[in-house]
Amino acid sequence: MESDVQSPTAPVCGSKRVIDGVERVYYYGYWIKTYEAPADTLEAKKRLIEALTRRLFNHVEHGINIPGKRLEEARMTYERETDPAMRRVKGAMLAGTLFNRATDIFTKLVDLQAAGVEIAPDNALMRECGRCLHEALDLGKTVLHRSGEEGIDELWGEPFKAFSIPVEAFYESRYNKIALAMRDIDEIAAALKQVLGKHDMFAGIVPVVDAYAEAARIKSETLRTDANIFDVWARFSVVGDQLRYFPPVVVENASEDLVREAEHAVRLIRHGVSLISDITRARVSMPKSTADFIERCQVFSSRYAQR
């Protein structure tokens, strides 16, 4: 990952360039590593939709990964629910069921194609698959990230987009989202440095914050199939722990106020590390959570005088 400050002469979004032997694409100030898209076949789309659906369930709230064969049951209990909070959760469960039903249909269509049966784009089952994905997308807008902080609508749209557009176009669309995720990562890191960078209790924390932000950006652009993933993930994990457990220097016999300030700062750091981790692993922006974290940093600054 390479960054490039936005300026009147900045490259156009979507521009590509080989940097240090690696092809990268430019979006919003970042040069992001590209990957060759697979051939645009039903088999490739099936693998992509399956992977995106697994990734979706890995990042959203628990309990919504319901088998597609229970679709009518899930729909009935959702439609009968009148309590708003219960209806939201049951809507999330219905969305998960719809995604699984779409994957079930697409898998069978690919099996038929492999057996020599021609599958036209207007096939009734293809239309049903698209309808399930579209309905799941609508319902998924209220589903929360596993952290409980906000929804991540972008993940809900990805399986439908992978179904609806060529595979290569889908890959291109991902780079835009990764750049926005990188921007969130850098904004969170900047907020932490501004609050704690000149604080005596946290001397030396700035290089650790910078190292974690860099590791997070690299992880967000790196696919799990990449040969470098072992080093990339290990670095991201190790530096994350270094920041999460960065020890404040509190003098012996410190005042109760100073101890309280240190404890508050530690909670802020750990929240920031967790949020960057969530964004990095999902590879999408979490703007509400990012804004909320920056506000928390501002509250901290106004509450405690720098020492």
pLDDT digits (tens, 9 = 90+) for 14-52: 899 999 999 999 999 999 999 998 888 888 888 888 888
Model confidence at 53: pLDDT above 60: yes
Model confidence at 276: pLDDT above 90: yes
pLDDT value of residue 154: 65
pLDDT digits (tens, 9 = 90+) for 60-115: 888 889 999 999 999 999 999 999 999 999 999 999 999 899 888 888 887 887 78
Q: Where are the domains of the chain?
A: 2-33, 42-165, 176-303
The model carries a pTM of 0.80
More confident residue, 147 or 80: 80
pLDDT digits (tens, 9 = 90+) for 204-232: 999 999 999 999 999 999 998 899 999 99
Model confidence at 5: pLDDT above 50: no
CA distance 222 to 24: 12
- Centre a 10 Å sphere on the Cβ of residue 70 and count the other Cβ atoms it contains: 16
CA distance 202 to 196: 6
Residue whose C-alpha is closest to residue 53's, from 68, 38, 40: 68
pLDDT digits (tens, 9 = 90+) for 69-79: 999 999 999 99
pLDDT value of residue 57: 83
CA distance 157 to 244: 32
Model confidence at 251: pLDDT above 80: no
Question: How far from each other are the two terminal CA atoms of the chain, in whole angstroms?
Answer: 36
Whether 64 contacts 77, CB under 8 Å: no
**Angle formed at CA 124 by CA 121 and CA 125, multiple of 5 degrees:** 90
Q: Which residue has the tokens 């790196």?
A: 222
Model confidence at 2: pLDDT above 70: no
Tokens linked to 101: 């039903």
Report the greatest alpha carbon distance in the chain: 79
Q: What is the pLDDT confidence band of residue 3, given thresholds at 50, 70 and 90?
A: low
CA distance 270 to 265: 9
**Long-range CB contact pairs, 300-303, < 8 A, 24+:** 300/195, 300/264, 300/265, 300/268, 301/194, 301/195, 303/264
CA distance 102 to 181: 28
- Centre a 10 Å sphere on the Cβ of residue 143 and count the other Cβ atoms it contains: 24
What percent of the chain lies above the pLDDT cut of 90?
A: 46
Ramachandran angles phi, psi of 124, nearest 5°:
-60, -40
Q: Which residue has the tokens 């990562």?
A: 185
* β-bridge mates for residue 2, sequence order: 31
Tokens linked to 160: 């439908």
Q: What is the pLDDT confidence band of residue 150, given thresholds at 50, 70 and 90?
A: low
pLDDT value of residue 126: 83
Whether 236 contacts 218, CB under 8 Å: yes
